[in-house]
Structure 1
Amino acid sequence: MKKTILADSILLGVTFVWGATFVLVKEAINTMPPFTFLAVRFLFAALLLFLFMLFFARDALRGIDRRLWFSGAALGLWLFAGYAFQTFGLEFTTSSKAGFITGLSVVFVPFLALWMLRQKLKRNALLGSGVATVGLALLSLTRDLSVNIGDLLVLLCAISYALQIVLVGRYAPRYHAFTLALLQIFFCGVFNLIGSLLFEDISVVFSPDVLFDPWVLWALLICSVLATAVAFVAQNQFQKFTTPTRTALIFSTEPVFAALTAFFWAGERLDLQQVVGCLLILAGTLFAELGGHDDKPQSEPVPSSS
């Protein structure tokens, strides 16, 4: 139980970092195209993590085998797919609707965990997911509830993120957290680099206006170190002591931290509906926490179905 509480607390810290860096990323991609930014962010993070392991965790590097390469590639692929579907979806839908639909990963995770990990559906987790979803709707949605192709693309983004969380629940107990995170980050960077070459002008990276833009430099440094290398090592290390469903609920608080950061950093105001939405997201997370820690994490290897 103590390990679960610690794991949930660490994952909440990871979520805070992701939410707090949202303003930085938003400003940076006004200068650098999104796939290019993500490619540089993830590949730089992979390089930093590799160098760290070379000096402090070399034994873990020696343990990389074919199955670990595959597991890291699968995690990197679904993480990239989430970014890609969201990026294309935003071409056709609003940011508020995209934020809500992306948050629906909290609904998909329990059912994917039931199917892929044979983890039972817990009443408190389902209740928490429902409350958090209502909170996401209040925080993100406006009166425009029409559905278009962009919404469907962002829905695929939510499913991709849900699959990434569930697969971490499968792979994390099997492998060293550093090596699994290293390969996941590396492959996500490679896939984003391919996306950049296909859909963007990657030469913009070498423009002086971009290279010396303080927002871009700070965003890349902070996101590469804290929001990528440290964050994904932490997820791989600590999610094994909790469940994918609880992880998804914790990750659903990201827009709350993003909204708070935007308020204090950029002066963006929240109306009453959005404040209530934030409170419901937090309440949904608490439902899962106060409901007990009897839902067991995936601690043993399971036969692969992917």
Structure 2
Amino acid sequence: MSAASRISLLATFGLLAMTAVWGSTFVLIKGVVDRMPVADFLAVRFVVAAVVMFALFHRQVARLARRQLWRGVVLGVMYGLGQLLQTWGLSLISPSVSGFVTGMYVVFTPILATLLLRQRMPVVVWLAVGMATLGLALLSLNGLSVDTGVWLTLASALLYGLHIVALGHWSRADEAFGLSAVQMAVIALVCLLATAGHGGPVLPPDRSAWIAVLYMALVAGAGAMLMQTWAQAHLPATRAAIVMTTEPVFAAGFAVVFGSDVLTWRMLCGGGLVLAAMYLVELMPRRKTEPPAEAIHHEV
């Protein structure tokens, strides 16, 4: 095996491990937000992650041009709002449903790219949207109504899709670390502002909550961002997309294993349709043209 092949294989496993970490956070977050306010949890999580990122990459931040700094602010605001909506939604629905609905960002991304960047959207994408919608109906419909948590999570997925499109359009490989640190700081600020109504963030209530928050800040936050940045420098976007679409599968798997959810036929069928839609969106339009690796980003 050549050196390039070994690095590519290592990057694939690194990205898969990072996606598994993202999937594991749905159950952990559900447990923490049952004991402390959503905005407070996110504020503590991202402040810790931002401090670590700036300690590591303050020199890269200082080298960013003013335009990139402002772009980092815009990206951070979008992602911070997405995090707030996603976590509020998760406090109202099960981790498995939240994982699959969050994964809809993969379907929203090409639609937003078409509308904002005038990129052509293949017919197969419309098929994927229909499949994903049916899958979401199986996962989340209660009679003829949709839970508020699903709507909040769907709105967060839309913001994640917008973040992906903007980041893919604005990011540069040599500025990835500095831009990531700026985004992390702005995400922390957005979450802190969300706690202003009750006088600032409440700290995690006990040791287990602190362990979960630190894990999500350092491993699923700062660590995952570093791994994603490194891995996607060595992988084509299609392979990265295939790996990252396993996030909702990991989320559902962890939820079932840890007893937060029970495996049902609706979960299998609905989740399968959403995953199939993700693969259609990511694989079929890119068979002929491979976009830059920077075009796919997600969880902080």
TM-score under structure 1 length normalisation: 0.75
In 1: Cα distance, 2:164 partner to 2:116 partner:
12
In the alignment, which residue of structure 2 is the partner of 1:271?
264
Q: 2:25 aligns with which of 21, 28, 43?
A: 21
Q: Is residue 111–residue 121 contact of structure 1 (8 Å, CA) maintained in 2? A: yes
How far is 1:79 from its partner? 1.0
**Gapped regions of structure 2 (runs ≥ 5):** 295-300
| Paired residue type of 1:297 | P
Residue of structure 1 equivalent to 2:50: 46
CA shift digits 1:178-231 (9 cap, x unpaired): 111111111010010000112x453632xxxx45x2321121111111211122
Alignment of 1:1-306 (within 5 A): 12-53=16-57, 58=59, 60-86=60-86, 102-123=102-123, 126-138=126-138, 140-146=139-145, 153-173=152-172, 176-198=175-197, 200=198, 202=200, 204-205=202-203, 210=204, 213-236=206-229, 247=241, 253-266=246-259, 268-287=261-280, 291=284, 293-298=287-292
For residue 186 of structure 1, what is the amino acid of its counterpart? Answer: A
SS in 2 for 1:35: helix
* C-alpha distance in structure 2 between counterparts of 1:202 and 1:126, whole Å: 44
Q: CA deviation at 1:88?
A: 5.8
Greater shift in the superposed pair: 258-267 or 126-135: 126-135
Report the CA distance between 1:131 and its aligned residue: 3.7
What is the Cα deviation at residue 134 of structure 1?
Answer: 3.6
* SS across alignment from 1:204: coil
Cα displacement (A) at 1:142:
3.5
Aligned CA distance change for structure 1 residues 145 and 180 (closer, same or farther; 3 Å) = farther
Alpha-carbon shift at residue 145 of structure 1 (Å): 2.9
Tell me: CA distance 1:137–1:177, structure 2 relative to 1, closer, same or farther (3 Å): farther
Q: Tell me the CA shift for residue 6 of structure 1.
A: 8.4
Letter in 1 for 2:273: L
Quick one: distance in 1 between partners of 2:136 and 2:246?
9
- After the TM superposition, which of the residue ranges 219-228 and 185-194 deviates more from structure 2? 219-228
Aligned to 1:303: none
8 A contact 2:106–2:278 mirrored in 1: no
Q: CA separation in 2, counterparts of 1:166 and 1:7? A: 23
CA RMSD of aligned residues (A): 3.8
User: What percent of counterpart residues are identical?
Assistant: 35
Q: Counterparts of 1:17 and 1:99 in 2: how far apart (Å)? A: 12
Give CA-to-partner distance per residue, 1:46-84, whole Å, 9 cap, x none: 111222235xxx4x2341221121111111111122233
Secondary structure in structure 1 of the residue aligned to 2:211: helix
Asked if the contact 2:61–2:179 (Cα under 8 Å) also holds between the matched residues in 1, the reply is no
Q: Name the CA distance, whole Å, in 2 between partners of 1:125 and 1:232.
A: 28
Please list every run of 5 or more consecutive structure 1 residues that lacks an aligned counterpart in the other structure: 301-306
In structure 1, the residue corresponding to 2:34 is in which secondary structure?
coil
Deviations 1:257-306 (A, max 9, x none): 11101222236321122123333344344445654543332589xxxxxx
Post-superposition CA distance 1:79-104 (Å, at most 9, x none): 1222334456679x755876665444
C-alpha offsets along residues 229-267 of structure 1, whole Å, 9 cap, x if unaligned?
1223444556686669x85x8655433211101222236
> Greater shift after overlay, 99-108 or 189-198?
99-108
Alignment partners' CA distance in 2, 1:220 and 1:74: 25
CA shift for structure 1 position 157: 2.6
Q: Look up the match of 2:297.
A: none
Query: 1:296 and 1:121, CA in 2 relative to 1: closer, same or farther beyond 3 A?
Result: farther
Q: 1:79 to 1:8 in 2, by over 3 A?
A: farther
Q: CA deviation at 1:16?
A: 2.3
Cα displacement string for residues 129-173 of structure 1 (whole angstroms, at most 9, x for unaligned residues): 5444443443x2143332687765554333212111111211223
> Shift of residue 21 of structure 1?
1.4
d(CA) in 1 for partners of 2:131, 2:14: 22
Instruction: State the TM-score, normalizing by the size of structure 2.
Output: 0.76
Size of the aligned set, in residue pairs, is 286
